Amino acid sequence: MGGAKPIRVVIVGGGTSGWMTAAALARLLPKRVSLHLIESETIGVIGVGEATLPHIRGFVEKLGIREADFMAWTRGTFKLGIEFRNWGRIGDSYVHPFGTFGRGKGEVDFHHYWTRLRLAGAELPPFEVFSYACMLARANRFDLPSEDPDRLTSTYGYAYQFDALLFAPYLRAIAEGLGARRTEGKVVEVVRDGERGTITAVRLDNGERIEGDLFVDCSGFRSLLLGEALAEPFEDWNHWLPADRAVAMPCRTTTSVTPYTSAIAMPAGWRWRIPLQHRTGNGYVYASAFTSDDEAARALTGAVEGAPLADPRILRFRAGRRRRSWVKNCVAIGLASGFLEPLESTSIYLVQQAITALIELFPDNADSDVERDEFNRLIDLEYDRIRDFLILHYHATTRTDTDFWNYVRTMEVPDSLAEKIELFRRAGRVVKYREGVFLDASWVAVYVGQGILPQGYDPRADVPDADVLMRGMRALQGEIAAAVDRVPEHLRYIDRYCPMAAAA
């Protein structure tokens, strides 16, 4: 095993997922793999995908990348969470922070104490004032978190907002520097073993045949290997997540470069606003069953702040995933494996999780069923949780102003989500995950932010005296506000730490 011949890995696709996979395999399994990536400039990449989750920092670190350098090259900004506007009701606004509420310590989560006081009729400020990350975001300020767990300034994480078209080339340089081979060309045929059905080679439009042992399908929505050649069925979640198109249009930045992404609810979906160093990314994600492309483009154009830098571009997709991501000797990563709309910036996270699972389960034999089954189990878990979390945002609304909002408000949700909502409504309890994405504070932020308030709380929250509790809350609020005041403005921090000029 130790001195075995390297496995020939062929990656089809050079978008974000293709180059993330190539860079990670080249860095972390240099002796186990020989890498060959095929991409077609004529087909191009999807070119969106600018907001991320904090897990991306682990990826950047594992690749040995210097954060400031990476951010300068990708014209990146910091992201402390997502601001949701008009979701529960028109006029509402809340932040889903990458951080805790309260001090993030103790046996009992902060929201139980808050609920106790609320149910007792106390006058309380908005829930988010008790989150350092939320208040930092609202104040447009940024600093790296403290490493001292006793400090309030350690109670958050952060992610990046970057230019999607600059991310893959950055990774390409790393992967090629580590020996990955790249071929420009269009795959026109997938060659399979007649008996076992495994993929043995792909043929390009110039006639070249590229052989391999393990094939990674990063070909985007087309899912050339897994979906087309191996015919793995697509599980369609459109009835729960009806948004199936987006119109995207970058603009000049005229207002704040916020350290957060905004998700602003619209008549038939929602609109993103992602500020980068050199421009602001905008897009309207909508359900084609409830609005037309023209109407969506008009609504986006009318809503964006700065002058457009390109014409509106329509993208089509479908919520769902291939039933299995790894079939025979083919692993699909990225859009080729599935897509959940970008409301919580989960796609690049899913790419990263798939790469991590592939590396941790990297087989001796590319057609090995035990590793494959475990990989598919892990990916299933990730998709199912994210799916429920996304559906929650739509379903937990009181909006009745359009057919779209009436549909999502009244639709049946998966049992797994109905149970989670009920558990929270009864006594503020959140389904626990040992690993993965969206832990307790994320669910609490969305429940409370969209008006699902608990009717009870953890009995341990009864221990402190009510007035002690109230004084503690006021002190915390004051402490957070004072700490936020000491932090630099987001753009000033970027200018010092990772200005795009540094990459020129």
Ligand X SMILES: Cc1cc2nc3c(=O)[nH]c(=O)nc-3n(C[C@H](O)[C@H](O)[C@H](O)COP(=O)(O)OP(=O)(O)OC[C@H]3O[C@@H](n4cnc5c(N)ncnc54)[C@H](O)[C@@H]3O)c2cc1C
Rg (CA), the chain: 23
Q: Which of the ranges 48-56, 364-372, 396-404, 451-459 carries the binding residues for ligand X, by CB under 6 A?
A: 48-56
Q: Which of the ranges 7-15, 101-109, 139-147, 405-413 carries the binding residues for ligand X, by CB under 6 A?
A: 7-15
CA count, 13 A, side-chain hemisphere, 139? 21
Contacts of 21 (CB under 8 A, 6+ apart): 11, 216, 218, 333, 351, 355, 358
The alpha carbon of residue 478 and the mean position of all alpha carbons in its chain are separated, in whole angstroms, by: 32
Amino acid at 401: D
Name which of residues 450 to 489 contact ligand X (CB under 6 A). Answer: none
Nearer to ligand X, 143 or 232 (CB): 232
Q: What number of residues does the chain have?
A: 504
Asked whether position 246 contacts ligand X by CB under 6 A, the answer is yes
Are the CB atoms for 16 and 159 separated by under 8 Å?
Answer: no
Residue of 5, 79, 186, 420 with catalytic role: 79
Q: Which of 219, 258, 277, 353 binds ligand X (CB under 6 A)?
A: 219
286 φ/ψ angles, rounded to the nearest 5 degrees: -140, 165
Asked whether position 345 contacts ligand X by CB under 6 A, the answer is yes
Asked whether position 38 contacts ligand X by CB under 6 A, the answer is yes
Smallest separation (angstroms) from ligand X to the CB of 65: 18
Contacts of 149 (CB under 8 A, 6+ apart): none
Q: Which of 199, 348, 355, 476 binds ligand X (CB under 6 A)?
A: 348
Helices (runs of H) and strands (runs of E) counted in the chain: 14, 21
Asked whether position 334 contacts ligand X by CB under 6 A, the answer is yes
Q: Give the strand pairing for 320-322 and 338-339.
A: antiparallel
Asked whether position 269 contacts ligand X by CB under 6 A, the answer is no
Q: Which of the ranges 14-22, 81-89, 90-98, 304-312 carries the binding residues for ligand X, by CB under 6 A?
A: 14-22
Nearer to ligand X, 285 or 487 (CB): 285
- Is 432 annotated in the active site? no
How far CA 124 is from CA of 115, 117, 128, 462, 477, in Å, comes to 10, 8, 11, 17, 11
Q: Which of 7, 14, 320, 461 binds ligand X (CB under 6 A)?
A: 14
Nearer to ligand X, 208 or 412 (CB): 208
Q: Which of 283, 312, 338, 363 binds ligand X (CB under 6 A)?
A: 283
Name which of residues 108 to 167 contact ligand X (CB under 6 A). Answer: 164
Question: Interhelix angle for 16-28 vs 347-360, to 10°?
Answer: 30
Nearer to ligand X, 336 or 473 (CB): 336
Asked whether position 182 contacts ligand X by CB under 6 A, the answer is no
| Cα angle 405, 261, 163; round to 5 | 120
Nearer to ligand X, 187 or 446 (CB): 187
Q: Which of the ranges 112-120, 144-152, 340-348, 370-378 carries the binding residues for ligand X, by CB under 6 A?
A: 340-348
Asked whether position 180 contacts ligand X by CB under 6 A, the answer is no
DSSP states along 15-75: SHHHHHHHHHHHHH-TTTEEEEEEE-TTT-------B--TTHHHHHHHTT--HHHHHHHTT
Smallest separation (angstroms) from ligand X to the CB of 338: 10
- Give the footprint of ligand X on this chain (CB under 6 A): 12-18, 38-40, 43-46, 48-52, 164, 186-187, 218-220, 222, 224, 246, 283, 315, 317, 334-336, 342, 345, 347-348
| Residues with active-site annotation | 79
